[in-house]
Structure 1
Amino acid sequence: MCLAVPARVESLDAAASSAIVNLDGIRKAISTQLLDEVAIGDYVLVHVGYALERIDPDEAEKTLLLFDELKAIEP
């Protein structure tokens, strides 16, 4: 099973086909080579350092809220 997580694009480097994304305060460089188009502020699904697709901001927020709920559950 694979897991892709939504992350918000904070900056782009078009020459390197890369972006810096933010996921819950963690900033990470990812490749955008698999996407035709991406802009600052977009949400993308990230898997092993690659943006797989752009996603709807509302759906991204719903997923991120679910992650927050999971973090709040005490083991």
Structure 2
Amino acid sequence: MCLAIPGKVIAIHEGEDVLFRKGKVSFSGITREVSLCMVPEAALGDYVLVHVGVAIGIVNEEEAKQIFSYLEQMGDLEELL
């Protein structure tokens, strides 16, 4: 099963080409560099769903918190991060 983890965009690194756009995303305090090429509309403060280092969609804050809650309840959050 594939999972996408929600995280908050805290920095964006613009490149010359949108295909190389990257950002720093916080997952409950743990930060990772991710590709934003699939969500060119993502902005600072947005919550994105990240799968294998690539943001694949934007979700609202409430939905992101709900997904995190489900992952915590399943006991999978520590393993994923």
**Alignment partner, residue 3 of structure 1:** 3
RMSD: 1.3
**Alignment partner, residue 48 of structure 2:** 44
Task: Report Cα offsets for 1:1-58 as digits up to 9, x if no partner.
Answer: 2111101100001114000001122100000011131111100000000000111211
Q: Give the structure-1-normalised TM-score.
A: 0.84
Q: Which runs of 5+ in 1 are unaligned?
A: none
Percent same amino acid at aligned positions? Answer: 34
**Alignment partner, residue 28 of structure 1:** 32
Which secondary structure does the structure 1 equivalent of 2:39 belong to?
coil
Give the Cα–Cα distance (whole angstroms) in 2 for the partners of residues 35 and 60 of structure 1: 16
The amino acid across from 1:10 in the alignment is I
